[in-house]
Amino acid sequence: MNKIITILMFLCLTVTINAQKNYPVFSIEECGAACLIENEPIMFSLESVDGIPKLVMRDLSKGEVIKSYESKLPDNTVSHIVANSKNGLLYFITIKKHSESDKKLLDAIYSFSPKKEKLEIIYTEQEETPIPISVDVVGNKLVLSISVFSKQPIIFNLETKEFEPFSDDENLRMLCAAPEQNGFVVLNFTEFDKDDNAPFYFMSLDKKLSQKLGVFNSTMRISTEEEENSLPGFSITNSDYNWITEVYNLSGFPHAGFSIATRAGLAEKYSSLANKFDISNILTANSNYLVASGKGETFVYNTKNITLGKPQTVSENDLKLIEDCIASRVSYQKKQIASSVLPKVFLAEFHLITETTKLDEYGYTESSFIVFKKKDKYAVLKNKPQLLTIVNTSFKLGNNEDAILFQDALNMLYPPGTFEKKHISFYKNNNEWFFVRNISFDKKEGFIVSTDSNKKITEIKYKLNMDEL
């Protein structure tokens, strides 16, 4: 669980760096399995139409339903839908519950012809086979991946309707299927070195193994220090196989939580999604679109030409009602921060704004922020280094008297709390002034103000650990 939270935190941190948000092209009620058609803006999904589960074909550019199929769907839950671009058929994988436990097992494989609107069961599993984590079509074979590194995928031959071995070499593992290239990206798990690197290869449908194509690094390290982050990825030495990174990034669906970060390219796409916090599952994606679900809805994004503006789904009248409803619960108290010290240090007027939000009849929350006015223009003081933009040009920070003045100004803007008062102090080191605002667990927190040779302030930083420079 901690790992998942760390991953999500990492993905969220990445988001803050990525300024462009990608809004959904459209959203629908949460669907079951979904499948995208490569090179065409089409999605097949299992949706509830008037309360009845149906297979629906949608135009991804607008979200409109092209066709809702009347054919009866499998009785058991469909976990995966995959399309075979060669014969135009869809394949449904269904799951069943173990008779004596809650364990979910592979149930059956169906084919569906969208042209003939015909559903046909092509295989019924009699054994207790675990449900696949992902399914692909490669040539005339369905590739059911059960586990990434511990087991080989199960290969179902669509012509013979029988299972066949993935490889004669039991040490080979599939990193991803490569449907367009008619093969698989594989590695030999006995070749992993102590740094989690292993050479990888391409295996064709007729099981011929290529020469070594490069190295796959499986290390996943997530840190708050960006440079320490590492996600699994390829170092490709044969440029004919550069496509592998993209194919790997868009494989192994569905992905949820921790699993998203196993594909760096997918994690990047996820990070740019405007409503990423609503998402619990990425159902599928191709080079143009990404389909994700969560909180009862399914969202479709164009990841090639991202949707920068939020699509308007609410009428102007309703939006006005919503804004008024929210505004009626919020009030603002505005007070000028009055002081003879502030104008000496900063060229701005400051106002303390307290926002009170009514929660219910008795409860409310409060939060405050500072607004400053410079040259008749208002701005929010969003962070402490921003103070540099409003320092009085005539103010010099050259001696203890200047520092006392600066500290007084800070006290006006950021009044110390009861336990912080005793720590308020300052000291100088070379051209830097240190204004301590609090000490907690032996860590000094406060402002570091740099000056030039004329004692003019050139930089204002705020550090939670001032000794750690």
Binding site for other proteins (CB under 8 A): 15-16, 27-30, 48-51, 102, 280, 295-297, 310, 313-314, 318-319, 321-323, 325-326, 330, 332, 334-339, 351-353, 355, 367, 369, 371, 378, 380, 382-383, 408, 411-413, 415-416, 421
Given the complex with other proteins, which of 338 and 469 has the nearer CB atom?
Answer: 338
**Cβ proximity of 282 and 268 under 8 Å:** no
Q: Name the burial class of residue 388, with classes exposed (0-12), middle (13-18) and buried (19+) by CB atoms within 10 angstroms of its CB.
A: middle
Beta carbon of residue 331, minimum distance to other proteins (angstroms, whole number): 11
Given the complex with other proteins, which of 48 and 197 has the nearer CB atom?
Answer: 48
The H or E element spanning position 411 is helix 400-413
List the structure tokens of 429. Answer: 């080191």
Backbone angles phi, psi at 75, to 5 degrees: -65, -40
Given the complex with other proteins, which of 58 and 173 has the nearer CB atom?
Answer: 58
- CA torsion sign, 298 to 301 to 303 to 306? negative
Q: Rounded CA gap, 200 and 190, in Å?
A: 12
Given the complex with other proteins, which of 268 and 297 has the nearer CB atom?
Answer: 297
- CA torsion sign, 41 to 43 to 47 to 53? positive
Collapsed DSSP state (helix, strand, coil) of residue 325:
helix
Q: Rounded CA gap, 72 and 341, in Å?
A: 78
Given the complex with other proteins, which of 52 and 121 has the nearer CB atom?
Answer: 52
Given the complex with other proteins, which of 100 and 296 has the nearer CB atom?
Answer: 296
Given the complex with other proteins, which of 215 and 274 has the nearer CB atom?
Answer: 274
Q: What is the DSSP string of 352-406?
A: EEEEEEE-SSS-EEEEEEEEEEETTEEEE--SGGGGGGGB-TT----SHHHHHHH
Q: Rounded CA gap, 136 and 125, in Å?
A: 18
**Cβ proximity of 213 and 235 under 8 Å:** no
Beta carbon of residue 295, minimum distance to other proteins (angstroms, whole number): 5
Beta carbon of residue 30, minimum distance to other proteins (angstroms, whole number): 7
Q: 362 to each of 324, 357, 368, how far by Cα in Å? A: 21, 11, 20
Beta carbon of residue 165, minimum distance to other proteins (angstroms, whole number): 33
Beta carbon of residue 437, minimum distance to other proteins (angstroms, whole number): 12
Given the complex with other proteins, which of 268 and 349 has the nearer CB atom?
Answer: 349
List the structure tokens of 366. Answer: 């409060």
Given the complex with other proteins, which of 217 and 293 has the nearer CB atom?
Answer: 293
Beta carbon of residue 43, minimum distance to other proteins (angstroms, whole number): 16
Beta carbon of residue 51, minimum distance to other proteins (angstroms, whole number): 6
Given the complex with other proteins, which of 9 and 330 has the nearer CB atom?
Answer: 330
Beta carbon of residue 192, minimum distance to other proteins (angstroms, whole number): 33
Beta carbon of residue 299, minimum distance to other proteins (angstroms, whole number): 10
Q: Rounded CA gap, 314 and 295, in Å?
A: 19
Q: Report the alpha-carbon angle 361-367-370, nearest 5.
A: 145
**Cβ proximity of 263 and 257 under 8 Å:** no
Query: What is the b/e burial string over 236-267, where b = at least 16 CB atoms within 10 angstroms of the residue's CB?
Result: beeeebeebbebbbbbbbbbeebbbbbbbbbb
* Helices 2-17/264-271 angle, 10° precision: 60
Given the complex with other proteins, which of 78 and 154 has the nearer CB atom?
Answer: 78
**Helix residue ranges per DSSP H, 68-154:** none
Beta carbon of residue 296, minimum distance to other proteins (angstroms, whole number): 4
Beta carbon of residue 175, minimum distance to other proteins (angstroms, whole number): 28
Beta carbon of residue 117, minimum distance to other proteins (angstroms, whole number): 22
Given the complex with other proteins, which of 234 and 426 has the nearer CB atom?
Answer: 426
List the structure tokens of 50. Answer: 């008037």
